[in-house]
A and B are shown apart, each in its own frame.
Chain A
Amino acid sequence: MSLMTRLFGFRGGLHLDYRKEMSTGTPIQIAPVPPQLILPLSQHAGNPAKPRVKVGDRVLRGQTIADADGFVSLPVHAGTSGIVSAIEPRPIPHASGLSAPCIVIDADGKDEALATPEWEPAEDINALDAQTIRDRVRRAGVSGLGGAGFPSFIKLAPGHPVETLIINGAECEPYISCDQLLMAERADEIIGGIQVILHTIRAGRCLIGIEDNKSWAIAALKAAAAADQRIEVVVVPTRYPQGGEKQLIQTLTGLEVPSRGLPLDLGLVVQNPGTARAVWRAIRHAEPLTSRVVTVTGSAVSHPQNFDARIGTPMRFLIDLAGGYTTPPDRLLMGGPMMGFALPTDTLPIVKSTNCILATAPGELRPDEDAMPCIRCGACQDACPINLLPQQMYWHARGKEYDKAQSLNLFDCIECGCCAQVCPSHIPLVQYYRHAKTEIWSEQQEKRKADAARERHEARLARIEREERAKEEARARKKALLAASQAAAKPAAATAPSPVEASASAVGNDDPVARAIAAAKAKKAAAPAADSTSDDPVARAIAAAKAKKAAATSGTAETDDPVARAIAAAKAKKAAANADAAATNTKRAKPSAADDERIAAAVAAAQARKAAKAAAAAQPQATTEADDPVARAIAAAQARKAAQSADASVPAAPQSSSATTGDADDPVARAIAAAQARKAAKAAAVASESPSAPTPATNNTADEDPVARAVAAAKAKKAAKAAAAVAPEPVPAAASETSAQTDDPVARAIAAAKARKAARAAGETPTE
């Protein structure tokens, strides 16, 4: 304080008609509790709070009634005791004029506080560590009281060394005097709060910037800060917008906050004196932020003055305390006339960031008029404290050339209103900038959406192309295979004593599941003919094998759906096996599984080999042209079982006679196939009798729910086991046709796992 601080000043700015003396004549009055408090859940920057009370609850003063939701968020506290009468959207004081969720408390008049505060009052702030202070400041719901409402605890955890704390007591907006009176009357509390903040952020110095038109406040703060060498009261010239954070920093330090940066980048933290006081109350007295000083002023108010009012108090209540209106107000503003916004009604509540309610008489503010054309006089440029080119930005904003406005640093505009205030053509310049900013924001949002959509689309195209390529390769392989098998094939015939109930009716159906079921039934029913029109080498190989082995053939499946075809193929195989067992007809679980097309294909190929073996005596055949991995996997699983049962029942089948050559090029797949083949062979060797097995229910699970499928698979397994235990049959008993057509990989993986387990279980049962 002893040092003369050099002032640097800022460019531009204006001398305005301040009209502060209207409301500084009387000290701050403590406003009584209104009959009802309306507490918006979002009074701060960040996420709205989450209510923790219900309608009908009784709450006490200082009680937390809504919790912070996420990091950048703050709780809300009851300002008095009473009953929660509503939690619903209510109009809130916001520039948008929209409604937002509020907790409404009907005061009971007792104003009863919590018996014990939610945290301990601190006698000695230096005994508290920084984290405790931050936590308590957060729990107290302290947000910046200057206007922006940023949660204060975040600024108390800068994560960056802070050299200087700046208290912004400039209060440069006309009419507003709440900080001025607070500094004059509660200087000790503000200094206390400053000491708490200095302690928390480990800053060594505090500058309190006050405009030179607030002599009482200067004197009071100087007196209160006299004992603390770290705190210096700096009197700054009265010039709008001195209280702008960037301008005050420039005035006090000569430094400029980097464009798009924060004061913290300069080792500075800026707080409002009201916020400092709230921090003090929160730490020293364990009081959450439930009241603030509000200036009620304007020529339409009988006795303009400042009130220490409960947050949530309806504005009209305060205006009535100030003697009511002298004349119906022309405009009702929240904040000052330079940066405040118009309110639709005086029934709105005051919130944490309400520093001023301004009710003006007709003629007090800007008259309604049309703007003249811009004459490029450049007065706006002279007034701009950021040194922007308001006039050029206006032309671009007006011409909807928002990109050009942006390249003129539109987003550095602090919307102080100086340009519009000096414009001889009375153009509402700031309105144009706000509009341009909004347009750019929404454009950017659109662009983000479009980018995401395009990425998705490109990914999809890539996937389709990949699949096409895989198909092409498979086709080539299949051709080779076909040639090979034709050379070796000698169609074997056998009659299948299968029940005929099936239908070709479902073929041509659009629903793949339905078709699959139909196809399966058809195949199971009798001895369908194999007419392979498929593209898929695996499928065709299977089909070819079947065809060769099959005796009875009649029935043309020509569905396009891979799943259906796969199922059909599988069913056919199974039917063959069953027929061969010449005992009972059973169905089996066929969980769907496939993690990878190639694996699936390989497995299918392996199965096909087995099935072919099994079918040596039997005759079903199916047209398979699955190009869907799921379908193939299903087919594979079914084929496996079928093969096993077939092997079991017909031990005579030569294990070595695999006419089918594996065409999988995946070693893993081939290994799996081989392992399964071995197991199946073993099982076949063990089993020799073939009693009939019960046929458990068939689940036509066409749904896409993996859980359902998994359950089905599990049931199938259990059923299989049970069947095996009850009747030593070669037929694996589990019968569930789970036709899967999901594309969820997790689901497929689960299904695959189930299928394998089921297969193993079946395979290990001696009955097989």
Chain B
Amino acid sequence: MKTLSSPFLPVTASVGQVMRDVLIALAPGVVVYALLFGPGVLINIVLAVLTCELIEAAVLKLRGRALKPFLLDSSALVTGVLLALAVPPTAPWWIIVVGCGFAMLLGKHVYGGLGYNPFNPAMVGFVVLLISFPVQMTAWPSMHPLWDTTDAVSGATALDHVKTQLSLERTLSEIRGDTPLGLFAGRGWEWIALAYLLGGGYMLWRRTIRWQIPVGLLLGMTVIAGAFWAYDGDRYASPLFHWFSGATMLGAFFIATDPVSAATTPRGRFVFGFGIGMLTYVIRTWGGYPDGIAFAVLLFNICAPTLDRYLQPRIYGQRRDKPQA
């Protein structure tokens, strides 16, 4: 299609580039993950990416869409990688395949494909797996670095361990030295989370994502976690622990920021992130699941259109007291 009207300048940005920026930003986290927990994660990623791309191609074909632009946009790639990172590295192969199937079909293409999905596809796949196959989905290995020659063993994650032990009426100070806990959060996981944070910084610098969602999410989590921690530091984990445990950093920078399903106005994004942060803490602390990012993200995906509607920015030249439509 010939450009009919201005602007005529070539555009450098592209959907593919946005997605590839996300992949680049994920790289440090993936590397640390593989180093600390073994190559299983890489196998999962490859399997997930292949499954997602295959499903994407098949569905595009069925829907009579052009294959090339949509396969090259790397969006299926990102979905696959994110899902693979959310699944335990020791999970059986069919877990990955089933998860990818739900993510791509139920999470994305039933709504019309790229750009039309109201929910984060990777989280749809993840939640289906978590609810349907809780055994496989909660069997996390202990940290087993590449340089460690002993066999890997499975063990509770930090979040899981803290939850269980607190229910057994132990205090946080008592369990501080337990195996699943590291320097300031989950053993091993704290470094992966730091690597995700690094990648998030890269995306902020590249302006692939805006600051409102990650900052809002971390702030929301800090506010509620900080309040309870200040109230009783022996029964409630610190904000720092929550930041670097579980999927907080992955969620803050890579999952909640999925543009298609997130809020889009600046204030809407902030509230969106803030709400996810708080809800995640609530699910972690009082809910039945060890982590809550996926549920919180999906629940706030539902709210995104409403947030956008009521949190519109004030436009140039409009009086400050004038209510928005």
Contact = CB atoms under 8 A, between A and B. Distances in A.
A172 to B, nearest CB: 13
Contacts of A364: 10
Interface stretch (A44-52, A160-168, A366-374, A453-461): A366-374
A338 B10 CA distance: 10
A16 B17 CA distance: 19
Interface stretch (B113-121, B133-141, B226-234, B248-256): B113-121
Contacts of A387: 313-316
B73 interface: yes
Interface stretch (A428-436, A497-505, A506-514): A428-436
A339 B207 contact: no
A422 B264 CA distance: 15
Interface in B65-81: 66, 69, 73, 75
Contacts of B2: 368
B150 interface: no
Interface stretch (A29-37, A256-264, A563-571): A256-264
Given A259-B315, A261-B317, A409-B315, A375 B114 contact: yes
B179 interface: no
Contact of B114 (A261, A367, A373, A382): A373
Nearest to A259: B317
Nearest to B208: A377
Interface string B244-276: 000000000000000110101110010000000
Contact of B264 (A365, A371, A389, A421): A389
A421 B13 CA distance: 9
Given A368-B2, A369-B1, A376-B115, A259 B8 contact: no
Contact of B308 (A360, A392, A434): A392
A386 B113 CA distance: 31
Interface in A445-491: none
Interface residues of B, number: 43
Most buried by A among B11, B17, B116: B11
Nearest to B257: A377
Given A333-B8, A373-B114, A377-B259, A389 B265 contact: yes
B8 A388 contact: no
Contacts of B113: 373
Contacts of B18: 375, 377, 424
B253 to A, nearest CB: 15
A202 interface: no
Given A259-B316, A375-B114, A341 B5 contact: yes
Interface in B277-325: 308, 312-319, 325
Given A370-B69, A376-B264, A387-B316, A338 B7 contact: yes
A372 B210 CA distance: 21
B14 interface: yes
Contacts of B316: 10-11, 246, 250, 256-257, 259, 385-387, 412
Contacts of B325: 407-408
A337 B8 contact: yes
Nearest to B210: A378
B8 A431 contact: no
B176 to A, nearest CB: 42
A434 B4 CA distance: 11
Contacts of B14: 372, 424-426
B9 interface: yes
A423 interface: yes
A366 B207 CA distance: 22
Interface string B1-28: 1111111111101110110000000000
B3 to A, nearest CB: 5
Given A259-B317, A368-B3, A389-B313, A373 B116 contact: yes
Contact of A256 (B1, B13, B317): B317
Contacts of B262: 376
Interface string B59-100: 000000010010001010000000000000000000000000
Nearest to B312: A389
Contacts of B1: 368-371
A366 B9 contact: yes
A424 B3 contact: no
A381 B264 contact: yes
B69 A339 contact: no
B313 A378 contact: no
Interface in A345-375: 360, 364-375
A17 B264 CA distance: 28
Contacts of B115: 372-376, 425
A95 interface: yes
B182 to A, nearest CB: 35
B13 A412 contact: no
Nearest to B70: A372
Contacts of A386: 315-317
A379 interface: yes
Interface string A126-169: 00000000000000000000000000000000000000000000
A684 B315 CA distance: 86
A409 B264 contact: no
Given A246-B317, A422-B11, A423-B11, A428 B210 contact: no
Nearest to A365: B8
Interface string A316-337: 0000000000000001010101
A340 interface: yes
A258 B7 contact: no
Interface in B99-131: 113-116
A706 interface: no
Interface string A293-335: 0000000000000000000000000000000000000010101
A359 to B, nearest CB: 12
Given A389-B264, A424-B15, A365 B315 contact: no
A388 B316 CA distance: 8
Nearest to B10: A366
Contacts of B308: 389, 392
Contact of B10 (A259, A340, A367, A415): A367
A227 B97 CA distance: 78
Contacts of A420: 7, 11
A121 interface: no
Contacts of A391: 264
Nearest to A412: B315
A373 B13 CA distance: 14
Please indicate which of the listed interface residues B210, B318, B325 has the most CB atoms of chain A within 10 Å of its own CB. Answer: B318
A378 B6 contact: no
Interface string B196-235: 0000000000010010000000000000000000000000
A691 interface: no
B244 to A, nearest CB: 28
A79 interface: no
A430 B5 contact: yes
A494 B314 CA distance: 93
Contacts of A408: 312, 325
29 contacts: A257-B316, A258-B317, A259-B317, A331-B8, A338-B7, A360-B8, A365-B9, A366-B8, A366-B9, A368-B1, A370-B69, A372-B69, A373-B114, A376-B262, A377-B18, A381-B266, A381-B313, A382-B210, A386-B316, A387-B313, A389-B265, A415-B6, A420-B11, A422-B11, A422-B13, A424-B11, A424-B13, A428-B4, A430-B6
Interface of B: 1-11, 13-15, 17-18, 66, 69, 73, 75, 113-116, 207, 210, 259-260, 262, 264-266, 269, 308, 312-319, 325
Closest 5 CB pairs of A and B: A417-B7, A373-B115, A259-B317, A407-B325, A424-B13
Given A333-B8, A340-B6, 14 more contacts: A337-B9, A338-B6, A364-B10, A365-B3, A366-B8, A368-B2, A381-B313, A386-B315, A386-B316, A389-B313, A407-B325, A415-B6, A421-B11, A431-B4
Interface of A: 10-11, 16-17, 95, 174, 246, 250, 256-261, 331, 333, 335, 337-342, 360, 364-379, 381-382, 385-389, 391-392, 407-409, 412, 415, 417, 420-426, 428, 430-431, 434
